[in-house]
Amino acid sequence: MDRKTMLISILLDSDISDAERDDAAIDLGFISNDDQVEKALLQVANDNHTDDMIKASCGESLAQIWLNEKIVDGEKIYLLKGIAFEEAFALMRKEKENDSAL
């Protein structure tokens, strides 16, 4: 099993500890240009049974992916809810402010 598949598997498995799932969400933020990664992060970010810490990490990882790709998908960001949306939006706003300061 490759690293990406392993991380997605951990993230999607609700029987695994929240700490491990959160670490997987964070690590997935470093894998760009992959629809499977984005789909898994979006799924978990919007799962009502997922802990807010994990949802927040999913939102932040999605924002990191979109910023690295230099493409922010307006449709996808608005699929995020609650803390996941807040974290994604905050990271993108911070990045925009940093770019403006240069």
d(CA 37, CA 97): 27
Per-residue pLDDT of the chain (102 residues; tens, 9 = 90+): 899 999 999 999 999 999 999 999 999 999 988 999 999 999 999 999 999 999 999 999 999 998 888 776 667 788 899 999 999 999 988 887 777 655
Domain that holds residue 57: 3-101
Please tell me the total count of domains within the chain. 1
Distances in whole angstroms, Cα of residue 70 to Cα of each of 73, 93, 95, 96: 10, 14, 11, 11
